[in-house]
Amino acid sequence: MKPFRRLAAAIVAVTVVATACSTGSETTAATTNKGVDVTDWSGVLKAAHGQTVRWYAYGGSDAINRFIDETYGPPLKAKYDITLERVPVADTVDAVNQVLTEKKANKNPGAVDLIWINGENFKSLKSADMLYSGWAQKLPNAKLVNWDDPAVNKDFGVPVNGAESPWASAQFQLVYDTTRTKQAELPRSYARLKDWACAHPGRFTYIAPGPGAFQGTRFVKQALFELSGGAKQWTTFNQGRWDSQQDKLWTYFNELKPCLWRNGETYPKDESELHKLFANNEVDFTITQAIVGPGSLIDEGLVPKTAKAFTFDANSIGDYSYVAIPSNAPDHAAALVLANLILDPGRQALQIDPAKGFGLGYAIDTSRVTDTAERSALDLAATKRGPAAAPIDELNRSRVPDAAVEYQDLVESGWRTHVLGT
């Protein structure tokens, strides 16, 4: 097998090279920077000079794509002579696979410098030992992050260990249309939601849980929290607890199913499909993770002007997303500079501003920002969330941490078997 494969490979290579002459083969002539020491920041900056940072990020949101290109690209170039190359992926798992495949092929330097990541994807790269660790808390701007907060130093229950640095925070919310549903009639719990859905058959649906659709998985996990009497118990993994509670969960979703859009036969695959159903008046609710609510969705024409966010009274999952550096990153130093720039109070203030940002919340703890001008810019941005946003006290009151990462697969495969498959 092996010799044949090598022979075949050689023949293909020779033939093609011979017949193809030269074709614009993309060279990845990046230097490896194994010697970079995070604590020597001026050394990092020097090493990063002239490098390219290839940032693999979920590319499905125009707002996020634009924000990355416009907010980080120009200062990286001007201040540090670093070129930002944003690589959009349909699903973060594609970036993870890229790194894992490179590990298999012993490819060093690889292709990826930075990944926007959290949860399961973080866990699989970390357990494959393919992430640089111990750097995130040593970035100059790491002092602005509340690393003592378990929501920051644990990612889906997995200790971060300085292997990723936070970018933004998010919280699960529902979105309704004020012209269709009265505020007083909004369902504020899963129990009430089922009543509402069955009183309005076909007018509610949720995103199918599964790889690449964490919002759907989150929606189901929140139901688990409510049905089992609280979110706290789920932050550590306990198979016995899952076994004893999961039936309740599937019973709930199977009772909900006949009341759903298209009788729960099929579900939207992603947020944008759910927005479309909501905008076309096929269903009455969509969702958002943005702290600013549906403001940017309204500006993009994705949902009606009269859309507004709200949360349930409890069990609304809030969390952080991060950036991580693969251990075979070609331009390691440039990735560190970008990870630090992301925490810069000025950029953080931009990302929450509905006019410029993508609506996710701060990664930094604003109380740690000592510069008064920066501090007031952050506070001002927070007030600009606009009328479509959910009230901040509603968000704070209902926020709970996500469940331990081990539950992710159990929820997704369980939903497939017990809800979709019946």
Partner 1 sequence: MRVAVRSTLSMMLGLAVGVLAVAAVSFRWVFPQVVPDEFSVAIAARTLRSPATGAALGTGIIVSVSVTLIALALAWPAARAMARTSGRWRGIVFAVLFLPSILPPVGLAMGLDVALLNLGVDGSRFAVILAHLVPAVPYAVAVLTATLVRYDDRLDLQAATLGASPLQVLRHVTLPQVRSGVVAAAALTFVVSWSQYLLTLLAGSGRVITPTVLLFNAASGGNPVTTATLALVVIVPVLVLVSVAAGAPDQGVPV
Partner 2 sequence: MTPSAGIVGPAWVRRVARSPIAAVAPAIVVVGLGAGYALVEGLGASFGIGAPVAGVPIGLDAYRRVIASPTFWESGLFSMWVAVASTVLAVAGGTLISWWWISRPGRIRRIDMWLVHLSVSIPHVAWAVAFVAVLSQSGFAARVAAVVGLIDRPDQFPVLIADRAGLGIIATIATKELAFVALVTLPLATRRARDAVTAAATLGASHSQRLRFVFIPTIAPALLPAAAAVFAFALGSYEAPALLGGQRPRTLSIVALEHFRASDLTRRADAFAVSTLIGAVIVLMVALLWFVGRRVSRPTPRAAR
Alpha-carbon gap, residue 405 to 415, rounded angstroms: 16
Backbone angles phi, psi at 58, to 5 degrees: -50, 125
372 CB-side CA count, 13 A: 0
Out of partner 2, partner 1, none, what residue 199 binds, judged by CB under 5 to 8 A for its kind, is none
CB atoms within 10 A of CB 148: 8
Alpha-carbon gap, residue 359 to 295, rounded angstroms: 8
381 binds partner 2 (CB under 8 A): no
CB atoms within 10 A of CB 166: 28
Taking CB under 8 A as the binding criterion, the range among 11-19, 46-54, 228-236, 288-296 that sits at the site for partner 2 is 11-19
Alpha-carbon gap, residue 45 to 72, rounded angstroms: 16
301 binds partner 1 (CB under 8 A): yes
269 binds partner 2 (CB under 8 A): yes
Residue 269 or 375 with smaller CB distance to partner 2: 269
Q: Coil, strand or helix: which one is 47?
A: helix
100 binds partner 1 (CB under 8 A): no
61 binds partner 1 (CB under 8 A): yes
DSSP characters over 399-413: EEPPPPTHHHHHHHH
* Upstream peptide bond of 109 is cis (omega within 30 degrees of 0): yes
Backbone CA torsion sign across 177, 384, 399, 171:
positive
The enclosing H or E element of 152 equals helix 150-153
Taking CB under 8 A as the binding criterion, the range among 7-15, 74-82, 141-149, 175-183 that sits at the site for partner 1 is 7-15
Residue 80 or 261 with smaller CB distance to partner 2: 261
Alpha-carbon gap, residue 314 to 231, rounded angstroms: 9
Q: How near is the Cβ of 102 to partner 1 at its closest, in Å?
A: 9
302 binds partner 1 (CB under 8 A): yes
Residue 62 or 195 with smaller CB distance to partner 1: 62
Q: How near is the Cβ of 105 to partner 2 at its closest, in Å?
A: 8
Q: How near is the Cβ of 46 to partner 2 at its closest, in Å?
A: 35
28 binds partner 2 (CB under 8 A): no
Q: What are the distances in angstroms from CA 421 to CA 90, 210, 415? A: 26, 14, 8
103 binds partner 1 (CB under 8 A): no
Q: Of the candidates 51, 121, 165, 398, which one interacts with partner 2 according to CB under 8 A? A: 121
The answer to whether residues 169 and 402 touch, using CB atoms and an 8 Å cutoff, is: no
Residues at the site binding partner 2, with contacts judged by CB under 8 A? 1-2, 4-5, 8-9, 11-12, 15-16, 19, 91, 93-94, 96-97, 100-101, 104, 120-121, 124, 202, 208, 210-211, 261-262, 265-267, 269, 276-277, 280-282, 417, 420-421
Residues at the site binding partner 1, with contacts judged by CB under 8 A? 5, 9, 12-13, 16, 19-20, 23-26, 28, 54, 56, 59-62, 65-66, 69, 86-90, 94-95, 98, 101, 105, 107, 111, 269-273, 276, 279-282, 300-302, 304
